[in-house]
């Protein structure tokens, strides 16, 4: 008999894990891309927030915020329609809108309720989100590969996580460090299919997730994640290195001689010295848009001189040309164009 899941009260957080049947390594680049795209669509429809995630070769980890159920029950009709648009094709959306308009014109409140009850019961429910994510991915995968039958081992596992900063950061780091621990990459930013690398690459939803971790922190506000991304990124990167330091298993489990993969003591110390800013040598391993779209690269004086010579090409409100480069330890290098999204895009592994 299955044991009932432990449920939180109000807004709650869960670490969810599911594995491919027989733990086969079938999730390649194409499959992981599809999984993440589907995850984002369902996230928008169900009203979940994926704090962070990691899609490995035969399993996945999600840290999910489930909304307060009272808030979900009070969703407006337009809010539900917007959610439908995020998941379904235009034909389905048009059909639902026409049916709803017909019920509204006929002043049949019961009919209106019946239309939206099909969707309302699915919104804000973690179990429903996970079921649909696994089912929809399975259907796509089976069709793509001429396969039949179940793709996942049993039901998903879940851990209820306290919504404070320390608990969320600990769980998030565990998830984002999976590829490092598995020896697939040496740096978490090199693994394209995890929340940290996605956020570093400029994905808005991934940044919202990491901003949520620090929403109760004095250092950065989750609501101002775009303005404070540099601070969020630095703080979280330091935490990743703290949690990801290589340790012998006997320190943790009483097993002598075995190493738990991670960062060396020297790497951790270097990261602390940089205060969480990515070093240039690491950043240039990624795709850095500053180096192709920054227009001018150099010292502050050099960039300002170029700006002055070409002053007529810029708006009257702009007083200076030099813009400091963000998201890595670039020293005093500046660029002319201040790129705000997808500055450093992780390499594909």
Cα 75 to chain centroid, rounded: 25
Cβ proximity of 13 and 162 under 8 Å: yes
Q: How many residues can be counted in the chain?
A: 349
Mean pLDDT of 156-185: 87
Residues contacting residue 251 through CB under 8 Å, at least 6 positions apart: none
Closest C-alpha to 203, from 19, 320, 62, 344: 344
Q: Considering only 52-56, 108-112, 210-214, 254-258, which range has the smallest mean pLDDT?
A: 254-258
297-298 and 59-66: which strand pairing?
Answer: unpaired
pTM of the model: 0.75
Mean pLDDT of 43-69: 93
pLDDT digits (tens, 9 = 90+) for 72-123: 777 777 888 888 888 888 898 898 888 888 888 888 878 877 877 878 878 8
Report long-range pairs for 289-294 (Cβ below 8 Å, ≥24 apart).
289/339, 289/342, 289/343, 289/344, 289/345, 290/325, 290/335, 290/339, 290/343, 293/337, 293/339, 294/325, 294/335, 294/336, 294/337, 294/339
Distances from the Cα of 38 to the Cα of 32, 43, 231, 254, 314, angstroms = 10, 8, 29, 41, 41
- Distance, CA of 280 to CA of 186 (rounded, Å): 16
What DSSP letter does each residue of 1-55 carry, written as one string?
Answer: -PPPPP--SSSEEEEEEEEBGGG-----HHHHHHHHHHHHHHHHHHT-EEEEEEE
Q: How confident is the model at residue 349 (pLDDT cuts 50, 70, 90)?
A: very low
- Distance, CA of 215 to CA of 223 (rounded, Å): 7
Q: How confident is the model at residue 348 (pLDDT cuts 50, 70, 90)?
A: very low
Eight-class DSSP state of 164: S
Q: Residue 250: pLDDT above 60?
A: no
Mean pLDDT of 279-286: 55
Q: Residue 18: pLDDT above 50?
A: yes
What does the pLDDT read at residue 344?
60
Q: How confident is the model at residue 55 (pLDDT cuts 50, 70, 90)?
A: very high
59-66 and 12-19: which strand pairing?
Answer: antiparallel
């Amino acid at each position: 008999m299955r044991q009932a899941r432990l449920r939180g009260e109000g807004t709650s957080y869960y670490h969810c894990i599911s594995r491919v049947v027989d733990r086969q390594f079938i999730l390649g680049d194409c499959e992981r891309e599809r999984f993440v795209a589907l995850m984002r669509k369902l996230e928008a429809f169900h009203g979940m927030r994926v704090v962070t995630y990691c899609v490995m070769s035969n399993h996945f980890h999600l840290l999910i915020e489930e909304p307060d159920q009272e808030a979900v029950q009070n969703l407006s009709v337009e809010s539900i329609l917007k959610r439908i648009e995020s998941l379904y094709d235009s034909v389905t959306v048009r059909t639902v809108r026409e049916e709803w308009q017909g019920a509204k014109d006929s002043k049949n409140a019961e009919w209106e309720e019946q239309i939206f009850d099909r969707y309302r019961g699915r919104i804000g429910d973690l179990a429903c989100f996970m079921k649909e994510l696994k089912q929809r991915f399975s259907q796509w995968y089976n069709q793509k590969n001429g396969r039949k039958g179940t793709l996942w081992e049993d039901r998903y596992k879940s851990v209820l996580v306290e919504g404070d900063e320390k608990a969320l950061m600990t769980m998030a780091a565990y998830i984002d460090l999976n590829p490092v621990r598995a020896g697939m990459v040496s740096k978490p930013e090199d693994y394209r299919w995890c929340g940290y690398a996605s956020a570093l690459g400029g994905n808005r939803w991934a940044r919202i997730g990491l901003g949520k971790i620090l929403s109760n922190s004095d250092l950065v506000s989750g609501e101002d994640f775009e303005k404070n991304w540099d601070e969020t990124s630095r703080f979280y990167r330091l935490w990743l290195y703290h949690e990801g330091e290589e340790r012998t298993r006997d320190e943790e489990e009483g097993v002598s001689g075995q190493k738990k993969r991670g960062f060396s003591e020297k790497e951790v110390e270097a990261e602390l010295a940089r205060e969480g800013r990515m070093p240039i040598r690491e950043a240039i391993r990624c795709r850095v848009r500053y180096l192709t779209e920054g227009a001018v690269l150099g010292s502050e004086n050099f960039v300002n001189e170029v700006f002055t010579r070409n002053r007529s090409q810029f708006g009257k409100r702009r007083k200076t040309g030099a813009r400091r480069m963000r998201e890595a330890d670039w020293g005093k290098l500046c660029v002319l164009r201040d790129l705000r999204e997808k500055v450093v895009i992780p390499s594909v592994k």
